[in-house]
Structure 1
């Protein structure tokens, strides 16, 4: 006895898409346009592929796509980390009209793969990606402050002079005993970020500045990413130690560590637009603005058919 096949998926329903070459070509094409790309993947084919391969979950397994006539029209992927209890959407990719039409369904399809207990989701794109901004608004998600992506050639960074730390301050690599001091610096600045304090000590190269009493005054953390480039991911300085050279000392020391670990072509970082002092520091080091980015954060979207796009 045979079982009658179920009804075919509705037109426009996001489904798994396993043609790796076609998916990569579509994603790279979207990444090359700020209006359709997502943040932090880059735009060169090799770099985009390396970043996708470095996601916590296999990107092709989480990819969900809407096709038309066998061709990709819009797509999304997702990764998650249970330690900060967050998930990050990669995409949605596609022309603005396709994202506006299929974006909510794509987000639901991506979120449906995230393990129970992870309720915070985030996506990020160029400020020119108005379709992503509109999707976030429809989901009821909040927008972050604009962050500026900055970059400098590694060869230029290698020539940065090593600054003399402020009097009584020493700069060194972080050790596990620094966890309480790092938490005091990291959590007020980056409590919603993708790395916990523990991960600063295990997944990142972290440099700290401390005074003669052993109090941490600032830190910088980063790593060589999957695309082979150096990234300064987090920097914070205690309010009482700002504008005294601590930030320059830890950033310079961290970048020297990263350059010694690999052979990156560039050093990257992002800084919130309102952080004028930090931006001035990075410009003084020869860094230039590469892009303006905005993130969007919110809870899992409500299931299809609930009558709501998002939930409070």
Structure 2
């Protein structure tokens, strides 16, 4: 059994090294975090007030970092996302599963001091992360629908942007205007299409979570929107939503392309783009497929709400 304590700022380098190694294995993959040192460092730095104040670690007898669980809390939505638990166990150790389970449970118990009175918790990991599934079951989490991560690699991304640069969209595509009625329309559409998302409609339009937003307009009517951000190694498309009566006409694909153009212009080039689609959403899968995205991995969320 490892020792459990709150993280300290000096733990960062050892923690990142642990995460990079474990994230590369689907048996330990957590969906919120990237897989490279640069991405992990940036994402941990986004935690408030700082990553160490929101994290607990496990250490062995020599003081080496062997486990981590970080907590991200949205006070407005009164929800918490658990980034982990990550537990390093010796290869082929006869009690490896027991060590992982006991350490993960101890990390979660310690993290309850950070969670305070937040009772809505979510985990998000690879569908092949069996230990995470067992952890979720032990602590009363319910598995939700799986989501598929799609990637558009560098060559295909460049081809998409160059190809569609020659096309004129059927409807007006532009960055999110400041008009209050547009903000309201986008927020309402978001809540209708993604009612239990990690971001609210208000957070999407007011810039609280640093997302870039583009909208499709027909006069003063909002037909749809796309939101995303530029990460160190990729563009990430968070959300795409189109009003039901105008779906199937290419607006969604045009919004995705417009968003990628905007991110490239404002944040510079990235080697790939990524998007998450709920498993079974065939229309979205076909849309991203036509743009050149390919299926990369499948993740599942586990949620517990008191």
Q: TM-score, normalised by structure 1?
A: 0.84
Show the counterpart of 2:93: none
Candidates 252, 255, 273, aligned match of 2:279: 273
Find the aligned partners of 1:238 and 1:105 in 2 and give their Cα distance: 46
SS at match of 1:33: coil
Classify 1:210/1:174 alpha carbon distance in 2 versus 1 (closer, same or farther; 3 Å): same
Task: Work out whether 1:172 is the aligned partner of 2:174.
Answer: yes
Candidates 253, 269, 278, aligned match of 2:258: 253
Show the counterpart of 2:228: 222
Deviates more, 1:249-258 or 1:21-30: 21-30
Show the counterpart of 2:193: 189
Show the counterpart of 1:307: none
Aligned pairs (5 A) from 1:284-299? 284-299=290-305
Contact residue 89 and residue 123 of structure 1 kept, 8 A: yes
Shift of 1:189: 2.4
Shift of 1:31: 0.9
Classify 1:256/1:80 alpha carbon distance in 2 versus 1 (closer, same or farther; 3 Å): same
Find the aligned partners of 1:132 and 1:229 in 2 and give their Cα distance: 26
Deviates more, 1:147-156 or 1:275-284: 147-156
Task: Work out whether 1:241 is the aligned partner of 2:240.
Answer: no
Q: TM-score, normalised by structure 2?
A: 0.85
Contact residue 89 and residue 110 of structure 1 kept, 8 A: no
Show the counterpart of 1:112: 113
Aligned pairs (5 A) from 1:85-124? 85-94=78-87, 95=89, 97=97, 98-116=99-117, 118-124=118-124
Show the counterpart of 2:218: 211
Shift of 1:115: 4.9
Find the aligned partners of 1:188 and 1:130 in 2 and give their Cα distance: 33
Classify 1:139/1:188 alpha carbon distance in 2 versus 1 (closer, same or farther; 3 Å): farther
Note the aligned Cα RMSD (angstroms). 2.1
Aligned length: 285
Which segments of 5 or more consecutive residues in structure 1 lack a partner in the other structure? 1-10, 300-311
Task: Work out whether 1:75 is the aligned partner of 2:68.
Answer: yes
Show the counterpart of 1:24: 16
Classify 1:51/1:155 alpha carbon distance in 2 versus 1 (closer, same or farther; 3 Å): farther
Give 1 or 2: higher helix fraction. Answer: 2
Aligned pairs (5 A) from 1:20-59? 20-59=12-51
Task: Work out whether 1:62 is the aligned partner of 2:54.
Answer: yes
Show the counterpart of 1:152: 152
Contact residue 31 and residue 125 of structure 2 kept, 8 A: yes
Find the aligned partners of 2:27 and 2:21 in 1 and give their Cα distance: 11
Find the aligned partners of 2:141 and 2:84 in 1 and give their Cα distance: 15
Show the counterpart of 1:3: none
SS at match of 2:115: coil
Contact residue 188 and residue 201 of structure 2 kept, 8 A: no
Which segments of 5 or more consecutive residues in structure 2 lack a partner in the other structure? 90-95
Candidates 201, 204, 210, aligned match of 1:200: 204
